[in-house]
């Protein structure tokens, strides 16, 4: 994929998945604006990209407010003359079960993930529409947003909202040639290596330098952060000009298209449904095969 001449902003790109995205975009020829809240991390990330022959600049800002979004867009235009791609990756975790989650736990996660995606996408969309040459909004979601996850009310809600925004913005920005997609990544990061079923395999792979086992790469769709980056580069390219409004999963050896929410079982009653009628027919009708919820617990072979 050739991204020569394109300019990308990647939020939360000082380390982990975000850094992998920024490095992949730069390797394909894009100029990249790196973002993190830690100045030293930003400088190091920019250094690794430029040392590899890429073009990058850094912005130290906490994503969430409009001011940070404008700062990122302005940096792209000031340093590289335009903005073509936005990847909204910045995020934090404040995991608590519902009855222990504080207002601050909820608000801080929603501010970075959901409001940060909104403010950055709005600023980028304004600039892209002014340029009149289309663009790419690539919004990072999570399996938690698709299925829910224990202890992650705030995170799951924000990530689900991000997919909903992607589908909405795909309609609103289509005439401007701006595509909008949500990416649902799974990779070995500081967060996933704390999962008991994953930890031993990740630690072994890191210690020996060998690939993760097939049951992780294929069955669980879990690989390295670099395994995810190819999808970001593809979506940023001209080859994806007709791909929009989608939620796309990637990790390890697995690439998947998440289905849109849709009606499953349906039943009809002449004149409508009373509570009693629903109760009488629920278990043998639309509720006979209830939908699953939550991210399935991974199980290693032989466990």
Q: Nearest CA to 232 among 182, 169, 158, 171?
A: 182
Out of 142, 218, 241, 274, the active site residue is: 142
CA proximity to 58, closest of 73, 70, 47, 42: 42
Check if 142 is active-site: yes
User: Torsion-angle region of residue 16: left (phi > 0), alpha (psi -120 to 50) or beta?
Assistant: left
Burial class (CB in 10 A: 0-12, 13-18, 19+), 14: buried
Catalytic residue among 155, 218, 237, 274: 155
128 CB contacts (<8 Å, ≥6 apart)?
83, 84, 134, 135, 176, 178
Cα–Cα nearest to 127, from 92, 90, 86 = 86
66 among known catalytic residues: no
CA-CA distance, 3 to 225, in Å (whole number)?
20
Catalytic residue list contains 293:
no
d(CA 224, CA 77): 32
Q: Decide the pairing of beta strands 254-257 and 247-251.
A: antiparallel
The label of the residue with tokens 């380390």 reads 15
What gap in Å lies between CA 287 and CA 66, rounded to an integer? 44
Catalytic hit among 159, 218, 237, 262:
159
- Strands 85-88 and 7-10 come out as parallel
Report the catalytic residues.
Answer: 142, 155, 159
């Amino acid at each position: 994929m050739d991204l020569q001449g394109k300019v990308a902003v990647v939020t939360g790109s000082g380390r982990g998945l975000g850094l992998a995205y920024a490095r992949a975009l730069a390797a394909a020829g894009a100029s990249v604006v790196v973002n993190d809240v830690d100045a030293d991390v930003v400088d190091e990330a920019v250094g690794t990209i430029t040392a590899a022959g890429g073009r990058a600049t850094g912005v130290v800002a906490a994503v969430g407010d409009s001011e940070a979004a404008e700062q990122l867009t302005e940096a792209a235009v000031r340093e590289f003359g335009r903005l073509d791609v936005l990847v909204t990756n910045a995020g934090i975790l404040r995991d608590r079960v519902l009855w222990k989650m504080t207002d601050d736990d909820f608000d801080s996660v929603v501010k970075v993930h959901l409001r940060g995606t909104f403010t950055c996408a709005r600023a980028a969309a304004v600039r892209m529409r002014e340029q009149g040459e289309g663009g790419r909004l690539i919004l990072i979601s999570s399996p938690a947003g698709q299925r829910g996850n224990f202890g992650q009310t705030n995170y799951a809600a924000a990530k689900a909202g991000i997919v909903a925004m992607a589908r909405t913005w795909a309609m609103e920005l289509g005439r401007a040639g701006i595509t909008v997609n949500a990416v649902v990544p799974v990779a070995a990061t500081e967060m996933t290596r704390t999962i008991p079923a994953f930890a031993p395999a990740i630690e072994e792979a890191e210690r020996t330098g060998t690939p993760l086992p097939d049951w992780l790469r294929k069955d669980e769709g879990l690989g390295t952060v670099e395994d995810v980056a190819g999808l970001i580069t593809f979506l940023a390219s001209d080859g994806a000009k007709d791909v929009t409004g989608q939620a796309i999963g990637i990790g390890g050896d697995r690439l998947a298209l998440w289905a849109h929410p849709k009606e499953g079982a349906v039943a009809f009653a002449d004149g409508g449904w009373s509570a009693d009628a629903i109760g009488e027919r629920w278990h043998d009708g639309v509720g006979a095969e209830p939908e699953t919820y939550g991210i399935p617990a991974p199980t290693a072979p032989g466990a």
